[in-house]
Chain A
Amino acid sequence: MFIRMIRGALIRQWKKMAMIGFTIALGASLATAMLSVLYDVGDKVNQELKAYGANITVVPKEASVISDLYDVEGGESSGAYLKEDELGKIKTIFWAFNIVDYTPFINVNAKLDDGSSVKVVGSWFNHHMELPTGESLDAGITSLRSWWEITAGSWLDEQAEADENAAMIGTALAEKTGLTVGDTIHVTGDVSDGSYRIVGIFDAGGEEDDQIYTPLNTAQALAGLDGCVDSIEVSALTTPDNELAIKAAKDPGSLTIKQYETWYCTAYVSSICFQIQEVITDSVANPVRQVADSEGAILDKTQMLMILITILSMIGAALGICNLVTASVMERSNEIGLMKAVGAQNSQITGLVLLEIIIVAIIGGAIGYVAGFGFAQIIGHTVFGSAITMRLVVIPIVAVIVILVTLAGSIPAIRMLLRLRPCEVLHGR
């Protein structure tokens, strides 16, 4: 009988129930969309902040102490190099998944035909790597120097012109030499000389504008430094630093074993640096404070902003649902009065009305979850150009919110109606 009454109510009043379900679906979709975006916004914004370039630099141990200092006096660099064949190891550290990009550099001093000296920088442009994990990665300065403006030609494509001596030159150098895309530039290094075809001219707004950028091997050959790398720039997704990370950055030895594990297994910039030092022989990895610190600040702010907006919209959705449920229960004063008049007990009436609404709420909530996930994808694709991951944790949160809000909206209204006397209600007062 109970089931029949509920089924009857749902079918007979389907229009009204559909409206309640619709509103609940809207509220649930709002909550789902906001929560999904909220959980993902950190990662997504982090990815965007990669536009600022690498947040970790790796240099040889000795060089980090002296070479830069003597460079100041115009001398040659010190002779300590990292090994090129170890580069792949960076993608094997604990936080390998968080390393989105990295590129090696080798700086070589060479001379142009007119006798003036020029710096030739060897690097990866879009170096293709097959990783031991089966994934592949295209890394290099094409993405790590995203702020370079290509004024003529295009980025050097390593995969397409692997054997050719191709190069990119800065605008200042192009102006000085009068060379353009398609021309050949001839440079003499310490060991050998080379003629490179210019495929692109870039404007970097810094000292790079006077330099020549070539593939790594080309520059190494010029100075006879096969297999040597000056420095590596690494771009990693990191967690903003906290006290533990600051303490660990000074001296990992000062941590207790438990703290050490927490630190090692969290993507702090200092723990990633530490892990890179472990795999690259005689290296020192340092966070680039300008990028690493600012990233943390901006991430925190964005997340906080999203949290507050989410809270507001959740309150809005909750009140909206609550409101409608109250309105729709109060509307049924006649029906409840009639039920009481024919002898229904308060608990029976409450159970009946609540169950009806909960059924509608569950259906509405389920539809809302799907719709909300769709909204989240719209946001993900329009703003960040990538999908928002589906997080299972959102489902229970939304379910609890929907059920709680529905109950909170209906119970006070039901109680109020039960207090009314049936004859008064039926009389229409």
Chain B
Amino acid sequence: MNKKRKMYFRMITASLMRRRSRMLIALLAIAIGATILSGLVTIYYDVPRQMGAEFRNYGANMILVASEESFTLEDVDQSMSYIKQNELVGVTPYHYETVRIHELPVLAAAMDLEQVQKTSPYWNVDGDWAASDGELMIGKTIASDMQLGVGDSITVTWTPSAGDAEAETTAQNEDELILDNEMEMTITGIVETGGSEEDYVYMSLADMETLTGTVPDLDIAEVSVSASGADLENYKNAITDNVDAVNARLVKRVTASETTVLSKLQALVLLVTIIVLALTMITVATTMTAVVTERRKEIGLRKALGASDQSIRMEFLGEGLLLGGLGGILGSILGFAFAQAVSINVFSSSISFRPLLVPITIIVSVVVTGAACMIPVRSATDVDPALVLKGE
């Protein structure tokens, strides 16, 4: 038995080695098929994640609003602990306050100036993004209305409102004179969005604190999460249920549209993958068939020497399996390399390796190769060896 098996392996490997050039052709065909299989499937699985990140260009898809009056940064941090860190793109807390510039009332938004670049990547800032320390950005509408430009220095005035208990007592003590808080600030940029964002001035939370003298409460927080559909809904519910101070809401316009478009894109890649794979597999099969058909004479000769149909089939199957396995392994590596190249070129991020895909690729290539070998072998073994050898 052992001897027989040894002989079997020897015949298979010898046949592969002797006919090196043909076998290389066959191996190449299988490897291409396997590369396309593993490459495209990897991309297919990664597209939603990668594209989802691109869709974050549309800005925040969740907002946190106060369930009572207002909320604090701690509440935001607590809310964010319910979202997976790698899915959180950015979170920007906002505080709105009416201030006056050149005695004209404008709405000022105080926020985290670093985070806003992540949650609103579409803002077009003419000039530089403001940092802290007396720098601010103004909306395009305000800029053209007040004829302000980048680099201008302005005085921002804030009047403590009558409803502010502390300020009221101070004011009443000083003969009903309400003292204004003033602050010199430099305009570093003009915000252009084509939307209502152009009607505000923007400064950091720290500057707002200096201006008003109190730690600003938050009115709203914009959250950008790269998740869609049910995942996002779960995050929303988790935050609303567990954090008392805030209510999470989804930005319908962004989330609903993203689900529609993303599902289309995924369907596109899926369909393309299926068609490309089907065609490639058929090409692999025809190439294998051509390579095996060439060996009709060999089959005839073996039959004439007394080999059983069964043993001939087993031998070709063995060769097919070996080739399929080799091609599959080669294809898995090349396919991953291709997917990685695509991911880096298109999305400039690396792709995760899917170990499960390696056995699948190998199995598919083995099955396709085996099936492709069996068709010509069967037709050759069915024929009388004399006819095959004669070349008809």
Residues of A within 8 A of B (CB): 16, 19, 22-23, 26-27, 29-30, 33-34, 37, 41, 45, 48-49, 51-53, 56-57, 64-66, 68-69, 72-73, 146-149, 203-206, 286-294, 297-298, 301-302, 304-306, 308-309, 312-313, 315-317, 319-321, 323-324, 326-328, 330-331, 375, 378-379, 382-384
Contacts and interface: CB of A to CB of B under 8 A. Distances in A.
A227 B205 CA distance: 45
B355 to A, nearest CB: 22
Contact of B54 (A298, A324, A328): A298
Interface of B: 21-22, 25-26, 28-29, 32-33, 35-36, 39-40, 43, 47, 51, 54-55, 57-59, 98, 105-107, 120-124, 141-142, 144-145, 192-196, 198-199, 249-254, 256-257, 260-261, 264-265, 267-269, 271-272, 275-276, 279-280, 282-284, 286-287, 289-291, 293-294, 338, 341-342, 345-347
A425 to B, nearest CB: 14
A293 B125 CA distance: 13
Nearest to A273: B194
Q: Which 5 A-B pairs have the closest CB atoms?
A: A205-B252, A320-B283, A294-B57, A147-B256, A51-B257
A34 B272 contact: yes
Contacts of B265: 45, 302
A317 B47 contact: no
Contact of B279 (A30, A72, A287, A289): A30
A308 B342 contact: yes
B154 to A, nearest CB: 16
B194 A287 contact: yes
Contacts of B194: 56-57, 286-290, 292
A312 to B, nearest CB: 6
A69 B106 contact: yes
A69 B141 contact: yes
B291 A327 contact: yes
B31 to A, nearest CB: 9
Contacts of B124: 289, 293
B40 A19 contact: no
17 contacts: A19-B286, A26-B279, A45-B261, A52-B58, A52-B257, A148-B252, A288-B193, A289-B124, A290-B58, A290-B193, A293-B122, A305-B342, A312-B35, A316-B32, A316-B280, A324-B286, A384-B268
A317 B107 CA distance: 61
A72 B105 contact: yes
A205 B249 contact: yes
A321 B29 CA distance: 9
A273 B57 CA distance: 22
Contacts of A384: 264, 268
Contacts of B193: 288-290
B179 to A, nearest CB: 22
A294 B58 contact: yes
Contact of A294 (B122, B268, B284): B122
B21 A382 contact: no
Contacts of B54: 297-298, 301
Nearest to A368: B279
Contacts of B257: 49, 51-53, 146-147
Contacts of A297: 54, 57
B122 A379 contact: no
Contacts of A304: 345-346
A308 B141 CA distance: 43
B279 A290 contact: no
B287 A323 contact: yes
B283 A324 contact: yes
A29 B282 CA distance: 12
Contacts of A48: 260-261, 264
A33 B267 CA distance: 16
B196 to A, nearest CB: 7
B32 A319 contact: yes
Contacts of B250: 205
Contacts of A320: 29, 32, 280, 283-284, 287
A147 B253 contact: yes
Contacts of A312: 35-36, 39-40, 338
Given A68-B196, A204-B253, A327-B294, 7 more contacts: A37-B268, A48-B264, A49-B257, A305-B43, A320-B284, A320-B287, A383-B264
Contacts of B196: 68
Given A68-B199, A72-B105, A72-B107, A383 B267 contact: yes
B251 to A, nearest CB: 7
Nearest to A204: B252
A27 B275 CA distance: 11
B339 to A, nearest CB: 10
